[in-house]
Amino acid sequence: MRLKGKVALVTGSSQGIGQAIAIRLAKEGANVVINYRSHPEGAEETLAKVKEAGGTCHPIDGITIKADTGTVPEVQRMIAESIDYFGQLDILVNNAGIERHADFWEATEADYDAVLNVNLKGVFFATQAFVKYLMATKRGGKVINISSVHEELPFPHFTSYCASKGGLRMMTRNLGVELAPYGITINNVAPGAIETPINTKLLNDPEKLGSLLQNIPMGRLGKSEDVAGMVAFLASSDADYVTGSTFVVDGGLLWNYHEQ
Ligand code: BGC
């Protein structure tokens, strides 16, 4: 119960990695704000599991908030509503993310904007709204961004996605420095190939899946819970002296290289 008495907001927590993070933080004792854009039923499922997570001894509260995290006024409203409901906010997990596949020369402006808005601009302004609140109330806080191994590693045909994650990497390094004097830490978690809805196409293509698995030294895809464990650590006081860094959760994928 490392997060007893804390409130955490997890964006994009109606499914996948975000859902697992919300549940894990609740198991650690935090009350949780569940954000979703287009899956209210998924958000309700997360909420039910969050409430269950505390058991009877440590009842956990949660709410769901609909907001498009690619839109600045929406992320500002999401942060304000979270604080209004719980009277405090201690942990922001910027998890919502999207990707669009295209050859570089075919990529559209609409897809570029969608990816950059959710993966970078929304994170920037959600974090800004959270930081303004922390500074105004003289509280410390923790920001955790769900990035990707692709903040480092090329991913051909996903250039907008890589650009967004590379941007997130520098945003985190920069804010690690700028926010440290205020007791606010910020870190990235960089998952590799995790079994989630963002990968549905790949998971249903045995040939592509097979060659991906050959690139993963641990020989399996990651689970959302593998990522959630790292987030729980970074959200806790065990990580008070940790900021501006990226933590890779990828079964060894990123630095895997073999010569036959
Ligand atoms: C992407 C997945 C991809 C994985 C490993 C993730 O960031 O969202 O589509 O399979 O990286 O390459």
Q: What strands lie across the sheet with 91-94, from one edge to the other?
A: 62-66, 31-36, 7-10, 91-94, 141-146, 184-191, 246-249
Q: Is the CB of 150 under 6 A from ligand 1?
A: yes
Does 2 reside within a domain?
A: no
Active-site residue flag, 85: no
Please give the residue range of the domain that contains residue 212.
7-256
Does 219 reside within a domain?
A: yes
- The alpha carbon dihedral of 106, 203, 11, 146 has a sign of negative
Query: What is the chain's length?
Result: 260
Whole-model pTM over 0.85:
yes
Q: What is the pLDDT of residues 56-102, one digit of tens each?
A: 888 999 999 999 999 999 999 999 999 999 999 999 999 999 999 99
Does 206 reside within a domain?
A: yes
Lowest mean pLDDT among 22-36, 133-147, 197-211: 197-211
Does 1 reside within a domain?
A: no
C-alpha 187 – ligand 1 centre gap (Å)? 19
Q: Is the CB of 97 under 6 A from ligand 1?
A: no
Does 64 reside within a domain?
A: yes
By the 10 Å C-beta count (0-12 exposed, 13-18 middle, 19+ buried), 9 is classed as: buried
Q: Is the CB of 199 under 6 A from ligand 1?
A: yes
Write the DSSP symbol of residue 203: H
Does 124 reside within a domain?
A: yes
State the Cα–Cα distance between residues 17 and 165, nearest whole angstrom. Answer: 16
Q: Is the CB of 70 under 6 A from ligand 1?
A: no
236 touches 28 (CB < 8 A): yes
Percentage of the chain surpassing pLDDT 70? 100
The domain total for the chain is 1
Tell which one of 99, 115, 155, 226 to mutate to probe ligand 1, the residue whose CB is within 8 A of the most ligand atoms: 155
Tell which one of 147, 194, 215, 248 to mutate to probe ligand 1, the residue whose CB is within 8 A of the most ligand atoms: 194
CATH of the domain at 247: 3.40.50.720
The yes-or-no verdict on residue 155 having pLDDT over 90 is yes
